[in-house]
Chain A
Amino acid sequence: MTAEPSAARLPGANALERPVGRRQWRLPGRGDLPRLVRKPARWTLLAVVLVLLAMLGHLLATSSSLQWGVVGHWFVNGGILAGLVRTLYLTALAMTIGIVGGTVLALMRLSKSAVLSLAATAYIWFFRGTPLLVQILFWYNIAAFVPRISIGVPFGPTLISGSTNALVTTLVAATLGLGLNEAAYMSEIVRAGIMSVDARQTEAATALGMTKRLAFRRIVFPQAMRFIIPPTGNQTISMLKGTSLVSVISLPELLYSVQLVYARTFQTIPLLVVACLWYLVVTTVLSVGQHFVERHFGRGESRKRSASFMERMRARQFDQILS
């Protein structure tokens, strides 16, 4: 026991001292083995994933059925591109019907009128409760159910009348099938968006002399958009892929155009890859677009003007630390 009166040398105090900021990269030594053993699940999973990736890479590179040359050839083929364009405008048409119809249905559901509210509820119940594929087939065969469509006074004289078959073409059937189904889902999104705006916003607008209608248009709806836009973006992406369902009624959109080719050439796998690649390209573009639209409608939400999503998250964390 020599005279070393330093209290800091006591073993208890020493244990609290950790070498901070001194770690350097070095080759693993004998002492590192326990670290690997301590997280066996993670290391096992990582090994499995790496093996699977290697197998997939090997398959993609060497598969005889997946001919990259064929994929490249059909990727820019005129017929396939025409199918892609049809997919795009079918998506646009169906989403337009979905958004407009969904907004009307949402307003009906929120209405004080029990009849309107019930009608909207019944619509949503039906269109969400039956498969989309069945609905598309139903619209395609509507002529068997309603042979003639006429415009005139209900139960009264007719002004214009036409055969349903001539009026509801394949494109009309596909648009109605996709759009009316989408309206049911969009109405729930719009309704949730409107209800998420604080009722005190309407109150403040009312106190300033705004009518209910003006307050909704100028104050509530723009703020509801912030909640409506992100799920609508997801719906659009879903819709883009959902249009492939109308291949069952022989509408030559992207999938059906591809099917037409491989029915002839038997190059099934390369052509399905062509379709997948195009869907991926468009969904990627839509995702980027969604990001910018969200940023526009998210204005006023954050402390920084037009901050990006990541910046907003970081700012939020920073605020929490400060408070």
Chain B
Amino acid sequence: MTGRPADDEPILRIDNLHKRFGQTEVLRGVSFDVHAGEVLCVIGPSGSGKSTLLRCINFLEEPTAGTIYVDGEMMGHRVEGGRLVGLRATELAMQRVHIGMVFQSFNLFGHLTALQNVIEAPIMVKKEPRAEVEKLATALLDRVGLAHKAHCYPAQLSGGQQQRVAIARALAMRPKLMLFDEPTSALDPEIVGEVLQVIQALAIDGTTMIVVTHEMGFAREVSHRVIFMDEGVIVESGPPNDVLVNPSHVRTRQFLARITAPVTRAGAEGTT
């Protein structure tokens, strides 16, 4: 899983990102790049700002300071006469089209079937013709192994199946970048594997993605780079074998020691 070009324009560039909620500063200057085809895993203790980081990238949370570029385009702002001007809601919505997001709690639309969940945004937001979208959606549901559940409502699906539909729904927008916010944390241990397999397959196919996860086995197997965050800053960043196996920082070592069992686990499938 190497051979990604390193010197080209990054898909995502984050520069000195800050986010403050009232008195608490959740992100305190985060900067990194993600290149096309790269798989980046973000790990760290809860409350370290991982989820906020993802939510700032697609402006579900507006950053307090710092800039984010997606495929060279600045998120949420535009330079006008040498000054930064906030984008209008409709413009910001169009920028979000390029970023797919998968949530910890799936958040499928409860009143729509699996297929309707997948085709909703391409038809309503991108105004693509229904027949084409349905073809793409059926193919995507097949890819996540749920073609036979296309006409089921979310309540009729297991957690793992719901999350796979949510992945198909995000992919249907053909995003340049996928964000996974703890995609398996709400799942029973025995079905974590089926979701991780789908994400791994996407990674192998060259999907650019950032995955916030507690699955250390998955991070080691699938990612090109791992970022360890604590208290709103990046403590350590590098290839998974460095960060996860021979971490250079004390805080990383302490964190990994606390969740040692998952690290020594063999693969991403979660076969325990």
Instruction: Give Cα A253 to B201, complex, Å.
Output: 69
Which residues on the B side are within 8 Å of A226 (C-beta)?
111
Q: Across the interface, do A201 and B96 meet the contact criterion of CB distance under 8 Å?
A: no
Q: Across the interface, do A203 and B121 meet the contact criterion of CB distance under 8 Å?
A: no
Instruction: Give Cα A205 to B121, complex, Å.
Output: 8
Q: Across the interface, do B96 and A208 meet the contact criterion of CB distance under 8 Å?
A: yes
Which of B7-15, B97-105, B128-136, B224-232 forms part of the interface with chain A? Answer: B97-105
Query: Is B120 positioned at the interface, with any CB of A under 8 Å from its CB?
Result: yes
Q: Chain A nearest CB: distance from B250 CB in Å? A: 36
Query: Is B94 positioned at the interface, with any CB of A under 8 Å from its CB?
Result: yes
Query: Is B93 positioned at the interface, with any CB of A under 8 Å from its CB?
Result: yes
B30-67 vs A, CB cutoff 8 Å, 1 = contact: the mask equals 00000000000000000000000000001010000000
Q: Across the interface, do B110 and A223 meet the contact criterion of CB distance under 8 Å?
A: yes
- Selected contact of B121 from candidates A201, A208, A299, A303, CB within 8 Å: A208
Which residues on the A side are within 8 Å of B112 (C-beta)?
300
Q: Across the interface, do B124 and A218 meet the contact criterion of CB distance under 8 Å?
A: yes
Which residues on the B side are within 8 Å of A200 (C-beta)?
103, 105, 107
Which partner residue on chain B sits nearest A222 by CB separation? B111
Q: Across the interface, do B125 and A208 meet the contact criterion of CB distance under 8 Å?
A: yes
Q: Which residues 169-213 in A have Cβ within 8 Å of B in the complex?
A: 198, 200-201, 203-212
Q: Across the interface, do B58 and A300 meet the contact criterion of CB distance under 8 Å?
A: no
A256-292 vs B, CB cutoff 8 Å, 1 = contact: the mask equals 0000000000000000000000000000000000000
Which residues on the A side are within 8 Å of B125 (C-beta)?
208-210, 214
Instruction: Give Cα A299 to B60, complex, Å.
Output: 29
Q: Across the interface, do A203 and B60 meet the contact criterion of CB distance under 8 Å?
A: yes
- Selected contact of A214 from candidates B58, B94, B113, B124, CB within 8 Å: B124
On whether A299 and B111 interact (CB within 8 A), knowing A204-B103, A208-B125, A218-B120, the answer reads: yes
Instruction: Give Cα A214 to B97, complex, Å.
Output: 14
Q: Across the interface, do A211 and B156 meet the contact criterion of CB distance under 8 Å?
A: no
Q: Which residues 1-32 in A have Cβ within 8 Å of B in the complex?
A: none
Instruction: Give Cα A166 to B86, complex, Å.
Output: 53
On whether A300 and B120 interact (CB within 8 A), knowing A207-B58, A214-B125, the answer reads: no
Which residues on the B side are within 8 Å of A212 (C-beta)?
89
On whether A204 and B107 interact (CB within 8 A), knowing A210-B124, A218-B120, the answer reads: yes
Instruction: Give Cα A200 to B105, complex, Å.
Output: 9
Residue with the greatest number of chain A CB neighbours at <10 A, chosen from B111, B154, B155: B111
On whether A219 and B109 interact (CB within 8 A), knowing A207-B101, A209-B173, A211-B93, the answer reads: yes
Query: Is B220 positioned at the interface, with any CB of A under 8 Å from its CB?
Result: no
Q: Chain A nearest CB: distance from B199 CB in Å? A: 17
Query: Is A302 positioned at the interface, with any CB of B under 8 Å from its CB?
Result: yes
Q: Across the interface, do A206 and B96 meet the contact criterion of CB distance under 8 Å?
A: yes
Query: Is A311 positioned at the interface, with any CB of B under 8 Å from its CB?
Result: no
Q: Chain A nearest CB: distance from B125 CB in Å? A: 5
Which partner residue on chain A sits nearest B156 by CB separation? A303
B65-102 vs A, CB cutoff 8 Å, 1 = contact: the mask equals 00000000000000000000000011001101101110
Q: Across the interface, do B173 and A208 meet the contact criterion of CB distance under 8 Å?
A: yes
Q: Across the interface, do A223 and B89 meet the contact criterion of CB distance under 8 Å?
A: no
Q: Which residues 203-256 in A have Cβ within 8 Å of B in the complex?
A: 203-212, 214, 218-219, 222-223, 226
Q: Chain A nearest CB: distance from B159 CB in Å? A: 14
Which partner residue on chain A sits nearest B181 by CB separation? A207
B139-164 vs A, CB cutoff 8 Å, 1 = contact: the mask equals 00000000000000111100000000
Which residues on the B side are within 8 Å of A204 (C-beta)?
101, 103, 107-109, 166
- Selected contact of B110 from candidates A210, A214, A300, A303, CB within 8 Å: A300
A110-129 vs B, CB cutoff 8 Å, 1 = contact: the mask equals 00000000000000000000
Instruction: Give Cα A218 to B111, complex, Å.
Output: 10
Which partner residue on chain B sits nearest A209 by CB separation? B97
| Extra pairs beyond A207-B60, A208-B173, A300-B113 (18, CB < 8 Å) | A203-B107, A204-B107, A205-B121, A207-B99, A207-B103, A208-B96, A208-B125, A209-B96, A209-B125, A209-B126, A210-B93, A211-B90, A212-B89, A218-B124, A223-B111, A300-B111, A300-B153, A301-B153
Going nearest first, the 4 A-B pairs with the smallest beta carbon separation are: A300-B153, A204-B107, A209-B97, A208-B121
A-contacting residues of B (Cβ < 8 Å)? 58, 60, 89-90, 93-94, 96-97, 99-101, 103, 105, 107-113, 120-121, 124-126, 153-156, 166, 169-170, 173
